């Protein structure tokens, strides 16, 4: 993979690019949250980068609730992957956000396709995108509480829209505590609700 984009980014933004790496051929640049939109716009508009194709936008939760504080710094990593169809190179731009009220600028002005992906990140991680025209949940429903892909959201919690019936007809939720979990499964306790 060509490191051209990473070099262009370092020349243009200097210290605002926190780190660059090329693990297994994936070019990654970590940027300061304040320059997120500028970097995205540069990668899109610069004729030598020319990354007009929007490949992906999502997030990673780096908090392990067994050891870390929930409002730790650098808890969420939001990334966007951009590709150039003409030059056949791609880059992954990442930024790190604190676990307390994560906020980041929306990249919809650069790639219009970011709309649904940012809605999904908001839905799944609770990261807010400033300037997003339509910040609603997309995969879950409006009544849903919490953000399911956060590591402190227990996998066995259910939020049925129609409550389970009691009495003789006892319908059970999909994941039960005593459902045979193999030794290797990561079980995060359900206390922190």
Neighbours of 101 (CB within 10 A): 10
Q: What is the CA radius of gyration of the chain?
A: 20
Q: Which of residues 127-146 bind another protein (CB under 8 A)?
A: 137-141
Neighbours of 121 (CB within 10 A): 25
Nearer to another protein among residue 15 and residue 185 (C-beta): 185
- Least spacing, CB of residue 136 vs another protein, in Å: 9
Please identify which residue in 15, 172, 185, 189 interacts with another protein, judged by CB under 8 A: 185
Q: What is the number of alpha carbons within 13 Å of residue 72 lying toward its C-beta?
A: 17
Please identify which residue in 5, 17, 61, 126 interacts with another protein, judged by CB under 8 A: 61
132 DSSP 8-state letter:
-
Residues 6+ apart with CB under 8 A from 142: 136
Stretch that binds another protein, among 10-18, 29-37, 81-89, 98-106 (CB under 8 A): 81-89
| Residues binding another protein (CB under 8 A) | 23-24, 26, 28, 52-56, 58, 60-61, 79, 81, 85, 88, 92, 111-113, 115-116, 124, 137-141, 148-149, 153, 155, 182-186
């Amino acid at each position: 993979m060509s490191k051209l984009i990473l070099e262009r980014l370092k020349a243009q933004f200097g210290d605002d690019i926190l780190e660059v790496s090329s693990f297994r051929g994936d070019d990654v640049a970590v940027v300061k949250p304040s320059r997120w939109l500028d970097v995205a716009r540069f990668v899109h508009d610069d004729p030598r980068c020319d990354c007009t194709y929007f490949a992906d936008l999502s997030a990673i939760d780096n908090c392990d609730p067994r050891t870390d504080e929930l409002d730790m710094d650098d808890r969420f990593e939001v990334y966007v992957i951009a590709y150039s169809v003409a030059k056949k190179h791609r880059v992954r731009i990442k930024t790190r956000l604190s676990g307390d009220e994560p906020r980041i600028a929306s990249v919809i002005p650069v790639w219009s396709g970011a709309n649904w992906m940012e809605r999904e990140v908001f839905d799944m991680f609770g990261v807010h995108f400033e300037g997003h025209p339509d910040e609603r949940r997309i995969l879950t429903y409006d009544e849903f509480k919490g953000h399911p892909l956060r590591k402190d959201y227990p996998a066995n919690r259910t939020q049925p829209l129609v409550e389970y019936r009691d009495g003789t007809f006892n319908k059970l939720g999909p994941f039960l505590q005593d459902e045979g979990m193999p030794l290797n499964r990561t079980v995060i306790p359900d206390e922190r609700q």
